[in-house]
Structure 1
């Protein structure tokens, strides 16, 4: 259950470690550990991307305007939609209930399973996973009782004091004074691989952020791209995880953005909250 397998996760077998990362070698000589050197500019490429983006938006707007009045079909268990259909907005309101701060009460259909998987990926990629009490609460909330009982012990072993120290955290999962530990999962899309009335297999493609933001940080916040696959079961009137696994990618080509300073990252983490994900 991690953003990656670098920090004690199990990779494709279903990893522990909360969140992993890909390390990025930053330009030497910058005044901040997050770097400050801009990569060679590609103004012509950016102009082309802008034009293409406008065209795509126009096409999408036209398609939306000419859309038929029938039901979109997402959320209909009996529909003929293929398992590999792309994630698309359906107008369905996201769940409003929460259990332990985590969205709950998902619809008993394919769309509900996708929303559950996306929100569970966010919870498992959060900083709460690095503290024992909150980690136990997260696991007990989103896994079936049998699965939670099976993995709590191994998870506690994985999030050992030694592991936490490698991330710059103390034994309780707290960062040094004046530093901000960052760990977030940002779902990009979901895909139903299998679905029955009582079970579902859903893949979540996501970008992860992890690292320490602070003046003395040697592990700056970096991004990683992975796919998290969840086996879900309909249990106690909600979707719950029975097993999960991860794999790397697909990762896009890095852009031309200049790396932010540690202060900018810390401020952004404090000011920008997360989302409740729904189709």
Structure 2
């Protein structure tokens, strides 16, 4: 079965919600645009690019650095939290390979870029070579793209083998699911040509279908992206990640694997604007 199109199709204003806790300011090399291995399921997260160890992080074009530290869910003050509200500015109207581009040279533009880039980097398109390279060329600092392509080719080659995929395509009867669901965004800093933005997100990941040994589950994490204004648009210079904040799971009945696969194929993702 073909990999579902998890790239954003619909533009919407970003929903209101509490901002995630502040992350540590340290920057480390971007190493994996890979998946998150949960207790019972391989949760495929970003950019793609998530290290399960709290405080571990990565930077585009570099090698693995030392572990940093990230503030836990209770470290933020309630007084600092603010709702994510639309500014009234014109939303992004252009795109490249299905990814929104051409963001305003503003703090709001940097936040919109961070959210949309996190969705692209966490999508199932990262598991196919051609679409993965296209995503990296769109969202990463151009000076780091070549090295990152080589690194992720190896990483996703291994992930494809682990999941039984053929360049991102699951065997008949199964559907690869990898879709981030951003819940909130906030700007930690903005200095004209650089910005640090946090994206709090849920992620659906796994293989849907009868007989799957990696059923679709969810995983909460926070990405801290360091963005740079390059060539008239925001690009990812580096970013880090940490687990959570994760809410208590609801007592809903779990849907069948076929129902999950049908929903992923029928419901398109969103394009976000701050």
TM-score (norm 1): 0.71
Q: Which residue of 2 aligns with 1:130?
A: 127
Structure 1 gap ranges (5+): 1-11, 26-81
The answer to whether the Cα contact below 8 Å between 1:147 and 1:243 also exists between their aligned partners in 2 is no
What residue in structure 1 maps to residue 159 of structure 2? 163
Q: Which residue among 91, 94, 105 is the counterpart of 1:94? A: 91
| Distance in 2 (alpha carbons) for counterparts of 1:124 and 1:210 | 13
Conservation of the 8 A alpha-carbon contact between 2:29 and 2:238: no
Verify the 8 A CA contact 2:225 2:236 in the aligned structure 1.
Answer: yes
Higher helix fraction: Structure 1 or Structure 2? 1
Structure 1 residues 97 and 238, CA, compared in 2 at 3 Å: closer, same or farther? same
Whether the aligned pair in 2 keeps the contact of 1:127 and 1:183 (CA below 8 Å) is yes
Instruction: Kindly state the Cα deviation for residue 203 of structure 1 after the two structures are TM-superposed.
Output: 0.8
Alignment root-mean-square deviation, CA: 2.0
| Deviations, residues 144-202 of structure 1 (Å, cap 9, x unaligned) | 11121231211112112x321222313x2210112111001111111111211100011
Tell me the CA shift for residue 85 of structure 1: 4.3
Structure 2 residue aligned with 1:229: 224
Greater RCO, 1 or 2 (C-alpha within 8 Å, sep 6+): 2
* Structure with the bigger percentage of strand: 2
1:268 correspondence with 2:260: no
Q: CA deviation at 1:14?
A: 3.8
Return the offset for 1:88: 2.1
Indicate the residue corresponding to 2:249 in structure 1: 254
- Determine helix, strand or coil for the equivalent of 1:204: strand
State the shift of 1:15 in Å.
4.7
* Structure with max Cα Rg: 1
How far the C-alpha of 1:243 sits from its partner, in A, is: 0.9
3-state SS of paired residue (1:269): helix
TM-score normalised per structure 2: 0.72
Kept in 1: contact 2:33–2:121 (CA 8 A): no
Instruction: Measure the CA separation in 2 of the matches of 1:159 and 1:247.
Output: 21
